[in-house]
């Protein structure tokens, strides 16, 4: 049976198995009406009703919640009510809940994956949030990015990635504020490890600092900006060669025991460092660049992760946008775009590497998909404990990326991709020498 709000918002529930969802929906509706009353807008004799229809064939939520106000000419009073922050928050949570149950009903729920042997379950595809505030040109409009983050939750994404260095700090603030209505329903990962005391905050400009006392300070700042009591997943952003990894892992272990962090992760660490850290505090996930044009982790890192039961979170799974097929040798990057400094994004390299796009495009045509979807589907097919985090600032790209979870690549497809890709030499280093030296340690 459908659940209707007024006459125009409805969603279809499955017949069984969603008692918790039904309860939450009922409570949200009651909260909404109570808050309307609190702002003095509720009257007893309204002709408009908020009606919950029968769910799951029973009478659990049969009673009508209450009557709403006669809102006046052109609904002006209702618009004023909508400006009330508490009402906005409740209705947003209600809208997301309705959207998610609609997806369940038609089989479009985002797949879930567990990161390694941990109990941390995330959506198969996450959302990298860096580009909303940092690195890819000027910061984007805050309200537009907030709407995009809400759209991601509505579409089943539960895994969001940020870091204190993005901005710095502003990306954590954006993510924390935008996802505040969904606490307990989403997983937010953030990172520490850079020295942000200087004035140069360009990508790659800051030095490293993973001293235990600095880690504690960084976590306190992240907790405030993310508006949470506990960080779901905390990565060391880059291995600090001046601080033994055992000291880093020990500091995070203490934060876990204190209830300020739930899970520990590393980023761009080498196999030996992963083993040493894991011996002190079990690692939930490693985050490193991995895609069809950056396959370095396959040699040592991925086998190590599999052995130790650690999840893998590939960042830049679309090659910083290249694997979408939207770039060529004529593509220009602004000075504020990090890619303008990368050897792999020179006109010569972009032209030479277009063979990869031709490969993806041919398979995409057969699968009725896009090159980006094939690139993401290829990653998802590598291991069941891999959860890529493609970033975007556009709704159409978000929806395109999500569509990759429905693309099925057969064993023959994967062999064809690997065979063809092995014959393509990728031109250009992924980072300038200084930044590359900060990886694989």
Query: Active-site residue numbers?
Result: 166
d(CA 416, CA 418): 6
**Pairing label, strands 159-161, 187-192:** parallel
Residue with tokens 């978000």: 398
The alpha carbons of the chain give a radius of gyration, in whole angstroms, of 24
Sequence-distant (6+) residues with CB within 8 A of 201 are: 165, 167, 168
3-state secondary structure of 383: coil
d(CA 51, CA 156): 26
d(CA 291, CA 302): 13
- Are the beta carbons of 196 and 210 closer than 8 angstroms? no
Q: Which residues pair with 410 in a beta bridge?
A: none
DSSP code per residue over 18-77:
-HHHHHHHHHHHHHHHHHHHHTT---TT-SEEE-----TTSSTT-S--EEE----GGGHH
The separation between the first and the last C-alpha atoms of the chain, rounded to the nearest angstrom, is: 56
d(CA 289, CA 40): 53
d(CA 17, CA 6): 25
Q: E strand or H helix at 226, and its extent?
A: helix 212-226
> Which of 155, 223, 154 lies closest to 192 in space, CA to CA?
223
């Amino acid at each position: 049976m459908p659940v209707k709000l007024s006459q125009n918002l409805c969603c279809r529930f499955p017949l069984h198995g969603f008692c918790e969802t039904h309860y939450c929906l009922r409570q949200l509706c009651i909260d909404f009406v109570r808050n309307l009353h609190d702002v003095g807008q509720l009257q007893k004799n309204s002709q408009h009703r908020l009606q919950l229809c029968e769910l799951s064939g029973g009478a659990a939520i049969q009673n009508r919640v209450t009557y709403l106000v006669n809102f006046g000419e052109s609904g002006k009073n209702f618009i004023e009510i909508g400006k009330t922050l508490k009402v906005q928050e409740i209705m947003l949570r209600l809208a997301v809940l309705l959207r998610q149950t609609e997806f369940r009903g038609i089989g479009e729920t985002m797949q879930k994956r567990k990161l390694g042997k941990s109990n941390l379950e995330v959506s198969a595809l996450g959302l990298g949030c860096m580009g909303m505030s940092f690195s890819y040109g000027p910061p984007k409009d805050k309200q537009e990015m907030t709407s995009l983050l809400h759209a991601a939750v509505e579409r089943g994404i539960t895994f969001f990635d940020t870091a204190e260095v993005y901005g710095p700090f502003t990306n954590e603030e954006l993510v924390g504020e935008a996802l505040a209505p969904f606490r307990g329903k989403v997983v937010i990962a953030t990172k520490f490890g850079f020295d942000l005391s200087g004035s140069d905050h360009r990508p790659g400009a800051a030095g490293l600092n993973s001293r235990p006392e600095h880690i504690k300070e960084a976590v306190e700042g992240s907790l405030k900006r993310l508006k949470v009591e506990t960080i779901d997943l905390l990565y060391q952003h880059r291995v600090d060669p001046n601080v033994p990894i055992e000291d880093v892992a020990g500091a995070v272990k203490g934060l876990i025991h204190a209830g300020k962090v739930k899970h520990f992760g590393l980023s761009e660490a080498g196999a030996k460092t992963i083993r040493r850290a894991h011996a002190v505090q079990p690692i939930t996930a490693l985050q490193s660049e991995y895609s069809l044009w950056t396959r370095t982790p396959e040699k040592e890192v991925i086998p190590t992760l599999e052995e130790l039961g650690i999840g893998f979170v590939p960042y830049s799974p679309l090659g910083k946008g290249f694997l979408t097929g939207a770039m060529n040798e004529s593509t220009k990057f602004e000075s504020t775009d990090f890619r303008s400094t990368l050897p792999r994004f020179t006109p010569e390299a972009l032209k030479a590497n277009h063979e990869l796009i031709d490969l993806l495009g041919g398979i995409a045509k057969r699968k009725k998909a896009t090159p980006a979807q094939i690139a993401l589907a290829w990653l998802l097919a590598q291991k069941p404990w891999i959860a890529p985090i493609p970033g975007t600032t556009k709704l159409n790209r978000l929806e395109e990326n999500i569509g990759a979870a429905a693309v099925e690549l057969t064993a023959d497809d994967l062999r064809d991709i690997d065979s063809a890709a092995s014959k393509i030499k990728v031109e250009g280093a992924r980072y300038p020498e200084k930044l590359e030296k900060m990886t694989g340690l």
